[in-house]
Amino acid sequence: MRLHALGCYGGEAPGCHQTSHLVDGRLLLDAGSVTAALPLDSQAGIDQVLVTHSHLDHVAALAFLADNLSTVRTKPIEVWSIPPVIRHLKKHVFNGIIWPDFTTIPSPQNPILSFHEIREGRPQRIGGYEVMAVRVDHTVEATGYLVSDGEASILFQGDSGPTTELWKVANAASRLQAIIVETSYPNLLQDLADASGHLTPQTLRTELTKLTVRRPIYAQHIKPQFIADIVRELAELSDPPVAILEQGKEYSFLAT
């Protein structure tokens, strides 16, 4: 399994793309910045999108992806999430007011987007992957995803404050090769992190005590204005160590 880190930040600034990761060139994990990071021909290869929640920094580029590919693809891009997130996208984004309803464009019979619900806690086949949605604790309904290609698995947290079920899934997952977590604010802004449903390095430290397995851990969703502070504070997380997910880098996760 290959993961291309298109956007690793919890905000937008020069050189900082919002959350979006591409698995094997065809499965997108969130869509905060895919159209800014990928050339058009690579965008056309995306078959499915897993959306963690409806906040703009995770879905904004889905609107532009649909627009870019509306005359290119012959099959719709499948957008998957838990039912509340799908409802939010239909009602608040692709509603014909904020953005065209691309489930009817170019035509209702041949749309560029199709929306699909995934049930929490049950593995489901999506494209070439087995995917399980795991509810996390954020200010809106949100989920993380365990994604497996049959040989290797990765766990993608999305946005979340302290949670429980995600770590149970990590501990029980077979062939788990990496865990991608969020760390949005520095420790000094713990109150803001708590109020907005995010983690700091110190709360991430507590979260990781719930892990009983040792796997590579990568942090992302850093707010651009706090990069230096968060990187420094994450460096103090020596056991288990936490690496920074590097924007633009391609990672290979192979079964061992």
Q: Is residue 255 assigned to a domain?
A: no
Q: Can you say whether the dihedral through the CA atoms of 245, 16, 79, 70 is positive or negative?
A: negative
Q: Is residue 227 assigned to a domain?
A: yes
Number of compact structural domains in the chain? 1
Q: Is residue 176 assigned to a domain?
A: yes
Q: Is residue 99 assigned to a domain?
A: yes
Q: Is residue 113 assigned to a domain?
A: yes
The whole-number pLDDT of residue 256 equals 65
Q: Is residue 98 assigned to a domain?
A: yes
Q: Is residue 206 assigned to a domain?
A: yes
The whole-number pLDDT of residue 99 equals 98
Give the ranges where the chain is alpha helix by DSSP (H).
34-37, 40-43, 56-69, 83-92, 165-172, 190-196, 201-208, 227-235
Mean pLDDT for each 10-residue chunk of the chain (256 residues)? 98 97 98 97 98 98 97 95 98 97 95 97 96 98 97 97 97 96 98 98 96 95 98 88 97 85
Query: Are β-strands 129-136 and 142-148 bridged in parallel, bridged antiparallel, or unpaired?
Result: antiparallel
| Domain hosting residue 196, numbered range | 2-245
Q: Is residue 253 assigned to a domain?
A: no
Q: Domain with 34 in it: what CATH number?
A: 3.60.15.10
Q: What is the DSSP letter of 111?
A: E
